Structure formats: structure tokens, C-alpha cells
Structure 1
Amino acid sequence: MRAFIAFLFYATAALAGEDRPGEFDYYVLAMSWSPTWCALEGDARGAAQCHKAADSGWILHGLWPQYHRGWPEHCQTTERPPSRSMTQAMADIMGSSGQAWYQWKKHGRCSGLSAPAYYALAREAYNKVNRPEVFRKLTKPVKLPAAVVEEAFLKANPGWERDMLTITCRQGRIQEARLCLSKTLDPVPCGRDVVRDCPAKDALFAPIR
């Protein structure tokens, strides 16, 4: 019966031209610099990750299935949604249970994995990245080219190439580091719509609170 239900989901998605779970080319691992998100959004929400005691630096934004051009999202799936305990268990690296739920709903369902498997893979991908310690040593805001942040990640992660990583900005601030990974979590070149480095020469980079 489960196989028949899955067939109906996939057949309906195909007829509607919708994205189908498991059909994608690679992942994008997106890590947000928490002080930037807090300054632009989190403080106004009273987000827990923005409290000084949280000591938040690079937070896992998400693990996103990606096509070579474009990406799937909000796929139909027969997999059960995650329980509250599952999403809460991801809050230590994603900032909140709500963020973990949203990432499952928008991206995780397109992975073709169950919710527990998707979260486990996202955590594995995040833990594989050496996040440069130099950023945790900042004591005051600095302005720098996004290329400096990229160089720090490349130095901390031997084997990565420049076309496998991009640094994004938002409102004049360093926003995210995005790494492109194969389905087995090996670094791979990013597609053209992902490799869009921030052109700012003086992006603001705030220290961890």
C-alpha cells in the first residue's frame, strides 16, 4: 500500500510539473553568520540564538538540494514530517526548532530522505566544515572584502577550490558561506546560479556577542 501511495504522489507531481523528491544534482550547505542575522532580523524577534549566552557564530541555515540551474522546493513527499523533538534536537546548530522545521518543509522534503535521515545528513555536512577560528577572535566590528572570508575558509579546509564556495552579503554585511557538496557530501563545483560572490570591498563583519 505504501508503495502505491508513493506512486500516486510521484505521478501527480510529474503531471503537475512539480519538483520530485530525490531528483537533484547536488547540495548547497548554507551557513549564516549569526551576528548578521541577529542585527537584521533576530534581535527584533528576540531570538534565542542572538542572546550573548548563545555564543553563536556560523549557524546552519540549511542543506539545500540543487539543480545545476535552479533548485527544487516544497516537494510532495510521503515521508512523515519531523516531530517536535527532532526539530528541537537541531536547534544547537540551526538556532531554533522553527528554523529546523522550515528547512525540512522547503528543502528537506526534496532530498528524498526521511526527516531523521535529512537532519542527520545536514548535521554531518555541517560538522565536516572547519569553520575558521579567526572569526571567533574578533572583538569589534571590521570592514573587509568578502574574498577575505572566502580565503579563510579555503585555508581551513584543504581540498576545497574557489568554485566550490561562495560568500554572500546582505545590506552591506557578510551574510553567509555556501559550500557545494555532492550527495555523498564531497565538495564539488557550484552551478552558475550559486557562485555569485559578494562584490563588496568593505562588508561589515560583526563579532560574536
Structure 2
Amino acid sequence: MTTASFRANARRRLLPGLAALAILAGCGDGAEGETQASTTKPAVSTGQTASATRLPQGSGFDFYVLSLSWSPSWCAGNDPNGRTEQCDVGADNGFVVHGLWPQNERGYPEFCQTDEPDRVSNAIGREVIDIMPSMGLIGHQWRKHGSCSGLSQRDYFALVAAAREKIAIPVELQRPTRELRRAPLAVEDAFIASNPGLERRMMAATCRSGDLQEVRICLSKTDLSFRACPEVDRDSCRARDIAIPPVP
């Protein structure tokens, strides 16, 4: 998906009367026009986050973890034949949203009781399908994590979209056409350079079987500002270097 189409989809997704609609409007003059227009800086910097009153306010946890999965690694290990939407031939996915996880300073809640339905409707799911490219993934993330946010499905997925809008993917990690090898700390440094206010103590680059798995970024539950998260940071990959498989 091109940057222009990502921006257009994000606008369409966030416009129709959700409680979180003012998220982008509250970022200051011109913020919407800057969203993902430049991949070297975030749409919302940590010092200029949207007003907390404009964000759907979750409860029952301490902060969020935005997990960005490196799709080529996931597909190689879980769906090499491309049977899912995420891994289908031509899907062209790099970093995708694995989830927005309610997190505590120690541990995290999961599979919580809620009055919301277990199933996520197509109408809601299609609002985030460009950043979470599988209805199966969307449904699972709601049941395991979104149900613990204290939010409605609609508000939760609007917040997922707002969190993803905040993060700029480093240019070199957007859609590499050949395998890269990087130290995990170098991956973190690339995100730090592209997202003012982000620090190593606020994130983790994880790996599995020698490949980049995810980049996890900790965000305040009130305004999605970057925040420290020692337990998450300790999960950073300790390998000297890891492979970053190319986008097909």
C-alpha cells in the first residue's frame, strides 16, 4: 500500500462519527495533512499529543503496547502458502499492526469479560483492515486484548488506528526488496530516529529463529504519548544481529 493510499484509508476510517474522530483534528493545525505524508517523523509527536479528552479512555490497566509485526517473518513461519489475507500473494505487507495491548507495569490482562460481542463485524473490521490485514487477526486481538480495554469495539479499533498513525516507519524498514541484517538495537535506533521522543526504554525489538519478529512501542493510555516500560523493554532481542526478510 502506498503512503498516499494509507493516508486516504486512514481518513475514511476515522471520519464517520466515532468518538475518536477528533484525535487527528486535535493534533494541531495541519496535523492531518502531515499524517504519514513523511515517513521520517510521526503524525503526532510525544510533546504534541491529542487532548486526552478527545481520545477514548480505557480503564483497568496501566498503558498500551502497540505491537508492529514484521509480516514477512510471520508469514514465513505461519503461512508460507499464503492462505490468509495477510500473506496472500501480492499483499505487499511490511510492518502490520499485531495489536494494541492493554498492559500493566507487571503482566497484562487478557480475555476479559465484556458486554461487547466476541465477534468483530465486517463493518468495524474493514475500518482497520489496511493496517491489520486479516479479519482473523482483528477478531483474535479483540477477544484477547481489546476486551480488556474497557472500550467498545468501535472505540477500541479507532484507538488502534490512532496509535498506528502516530508511528513513522523508518524508510529503510518500510519495504526492503532484499534481506537485511541488523542488530536489534539498530532496529530500535532507526525507530527512535524517525519518532522524536521515543527512547529505547520505551520499546522492544523482538526476534524469533534469527528473524525480526516485532517492534513493540509503549504508549500512555490517556494520550498515546511515548512512555517507559521496563518489563516490555526487557523482552528486547539479545542476538548480535538478526535477519529482516524482504517484502515479497
After TM superposition, is the score higher than 0.5? yes
Match for residue 24 of structure 1 among 28, 40, 61: 61
1:203 aligns with 2:242: yes
Instruction: Give the distance between the partners of 1:52 and 1:132, measured in 2 at CA.
Output: 24
In structure 2, the gaps of 5 or more residues are 1-57
Aligned pairs for 1:39-78 (under 5 A) are 39-44=76-81, 46-78=83-115
Instruction: Give the distance between the partners of 2:91 and 2:184, measured in 1 at CA.
Output: 25
1:120 aligns with 2:158: yes
Supply the AA of the counterpart residue of 1:130. A
TM-score under structure 1 length normalisation: 0.85
State which structure, 1 or 2, has the greater radius of gyration over its C-alpha atoms: 1
Are 2:82 and 2:88, in contact at CA under 8 Å, matched by a contact in 1? no
Instruction: Give the distance between the partners of 2:175 and 2:136, measured in 1 at CA.
Output: 29
Match of 1:13 in 2: none
Are 2:71 and 2:93, in contact at CA under 8 Å, matched by a contact in 1? yes
Aligned pairs for 1:35-184 (under 5 A) are 35-44=72-81, 46-81=83-118, 82-136=120-174, 138-183=176-221, 184=223
| Deviation readout 1:109-165 (Å, 9 max, x if unpaired) | 100000000000001001110011112352211222111111100000011111011
Q: How many residues align?
A: 189
Supply the AA of the counterpart residue of 1:51. D
Between Structure 1 and Structure 2, which shows a larger proportion of helix residues?
1
Distance change in 2, residues 1:24/1:138 (3 Å)? same
Supply the AA of the counterpart residue of 2:217. L
Match of 2:4 in 1: none
TM-score under structure 2 length normalisation: 0.72
What value does the CA root-mean-square deviation take over the aligned residues? 1.6
Q: Offset of 1:170 from its aligned partner?
A: 0.8
Larger deviation, residues 119-128 vs 42-51: 42-51
Larger deviation, residues 41-50 vs 168-177: 41-50
In structure 1, the gaps of 5 or more residues are 1-20
Distance change in 2, residues 1:137/1:77 (3 Å)? closer
Are 1:76 and 1:109, in contact at CA under 8 Å, matched by a contact in 2? yes
Instruction: Give the distance between the partners of 1:59 and 1:171, measured in 2 at CA.
Output: 19
